[in-house]
Amino acid sequence: MKNWLYPTLLACLATGVIPASAGDDEKALLKKAKKIHERAFTVDTHADTPMLLSRPGFDVTKDNDARTTNSKVDYPRMRKGGLDAIFWAVYLGQGPRTPEGHEIAKTKALGIFDAIHTTLKNTGSEAELVTTPQDALRVGKTGKRAIFIGVENGYPMGHDLSMLKKFYDLGARYMTLCHSSNNDICDSSTDPKGAEYQGLSPLGEQVVAEMNRLGMMIDVSHVSDSTFYDVVRLSKVPIIASHSGAKAVCDHPRNLTDDMLKALAKNGGVVQLNLLSDYVKTIPVSPEREAAQKAMLEKWGVKDRRAMMGAMSKLSEDDQKKLRADFMELNKKYPVQLATVKDAVDHIDHIVKLIGIDHVGMGADFDGGGALADCFDVGQYENFTVEFVRRGYSKKDIEKIWSGNFFRVMKAVEKSAPTEMIGK
Ligand SMILES: [Zn+2]
């Protein structure tokens, strides 16, 4: 799911501001949360910000207004929200599974890497590309933002396993095996056509082995349940779900069942919580909006919202802009109610009760659709720490959620790779 489906809505809580009306207990809680948030090293493992880097008018060094630009991440708002590090996704939607399609996707993916590298080169005084937890902590101490890279969708590697090393060399430290549709690597959780391989394809099995060899994390967000179990069975190291939630809390195919969460814990891995409202809580859409949305999509020849991404990629830049504007208009007229930080922390509570505190973190999917009523962009991340404190999570627990758990997995994966790979 990508951007602009749920933009610009509700009044947002101002992060870090202690209301004058708060009672003494509340003031003490907010003060405690603020201190913990400021001291914790915070990482978000999935954002689609690279899609905006080449958009005219977008400047990552400026505080972009989420309401008018529909951007959720930039350096000033990362600072405001106390976010130290983030993974920017080299995202490719699923296209034709042909040699030509793979070639085009590869070229596009390399172009996105290029855009990230160029941006970071041009904004070096504010942010730095990092590839290890140690690196991120070092950069964090300088006051700069630490930017990691992940590849979302294995599609652009085609059938060429050597592309994994290429991605690694360009800085990528995880790859999400697929996106919303099946690809040549595995089955997706949301392909309307259903399962094709009942898990990983033979190529997918080779991809898992090669990623293990390189020390590149395998991301199981977006994959089908059967693919998940294949990966858990085959991977020699812990795996990640860079942006997913708990299915028992919100029944969506993108979330993990309790059984999968238990398998993930046994594997030593981590699930990073997605803040896409649809995956956090099912909130019924009003019939008026439903009708207006249907009419609007029909105008563009799109069957339903799920078909939107595929349709979008076939449009010209100009038409994409017009379609985005139509959605903005729709959202203004018929606002969608978004899930809240409390709803999102219900996922974390559930996961912690089920498998303990060591297997959960944050991966909001900002700029890819992630947005809550009271954490609408990265600038409001402190609201999570406030809710963690309110629910009795200790400072140590909160630090594990914000980076400890994820970095443990990252280090384990890195360590398992042959020494000649490390640091490359
Ligand atoms: Zn995604």
Q: How far is residue 106's CA from residue 123's CA, in Å, rounded to a whole number?
A: 26
For each of the chain's 424 residues, which pLDDT tens digit applies?
343 333 333 333 444 456 777 788 999 999 999 999 999 999 999 999 999 998 888 999 999 988 778 899 999 999 999 999 999 999 999 999 999 999 999 999 999 999 999 999 999 999 999 999 999 999 999 999 999 999 999 999 999 999 999 999 999 999 999 999 999 999 999 999 999 999 999 999 999 999 999 999 999 999 999 999 999 999 999 999 999 999 999 999 999 999 999 999 999 999 999 999 999 999 888 899 989 988 998 888 887 765 666 666 677 778 877 887 888 889 889 988 999 999 999 999 999 999 999 999 999 999 999 999 999 999 999 999 999 999 999 999 999 999 999 999 999 999 988 765 554 4
Give the Å distances, CA to CA, from 151 to 190, 247, 275.
Answer: 19, 24, 19
Q: What is the set of domains in the chain, with CATH numbers?
A: 24-283+337-416 (3.20.20.140), 290-335 (no CATH)
Q: How far is residue 211's CA from residue 161's CA, in Å, rounded to a whole number?
A: 9
According to DSSP, residue 314 is labeled: T
326: CA distance to ligand 1 center in Å? 23
46: CA distance to ligand 1 center in Å? 8
Chain center to CA of 104: 24
Residue 187's region, left for phi above 0, alpha for psi from -120 to 50, else beta, is beta
According to DSSP, residue 389 is labeled: H
Q: How many residues does the chain have?
A: 424
Q: How far is residue 371's CA from residue 9's CA, in Å, rounded to a whole number?
A: 10
What is the pairing mode between strands 360-362 and 270-273?
parallel
Q: 3-state DSSP call for residue 10?
A: coil
371: CA distance to ligand 1 center in Å? 13
419: CA distance to ligand 1 center in Å? 31
Packed helices 382-390 and 24-39: angle between N→C axes, nearest 10 degrees: 120
Q: How far is residue 144's CA from residue 141's CA, in Å, rounded to a whole number?
A: 8
Q: How far is residue 232's CA from residue 264's CA, in Å, rounded to a whole number?
A: 7
If you write DSSP's letter for every residue of 131-190 in order, what string do you get?
-SHHHHHHHHHTTPEEEEEEEE-SGGGTT-THHHHHHHHTTEEEEES--SS--SSB-BTT
Q: How far is residue 180's CA from residue 193's CA, in Å, rounded to a whole number?
A: 11
284: CA distance to ligand 1 center in Å? 22
Positive or negative torsion for Cα 151, 153, 155, 161: positive
179: CA distance to ligand 1 center in Å? 6
**Amino acid sitting at position 267:** N
DSSP element (H, E) containing 311: helix 308-313
Token digits of residue 334: 């018929």
Tokens 């630090």 locate to 399
The C-alpha angle with vertex 255 and arms to 253 and 368, in degrees rounded to 5, equals 90
| Closest CA relative to residue 117, chosen from 54, 179, 58 | 54
259 CB contacts (<8 Å, ≥6 apart)? none
1: CA distance to ligand 1 center in Å? 6
60: CA distance to ligand 1 center in Å? 21
Give the Å distances, CA to CA, from 196 to 20, 192, 200, 225, 316.
Answer: 58, 11, 9, 13, 31
Calculate the dihedral angle through the C-alpha atoms of 188, 190, 193, 194, rounding to the nearest 10 degrees: 60
153: CA distance to ligand 1 center in Å? 9
| Phi and psi, residue 333, nearest 5° | -75, -45
Q: How far is residue 124's CA from residue 34's CA, in Å, rounded to a whole number?
A: 28
Q: How far is residue 112's CA from residue 366's CA, in Å, rounded to a whole number?
A: 17
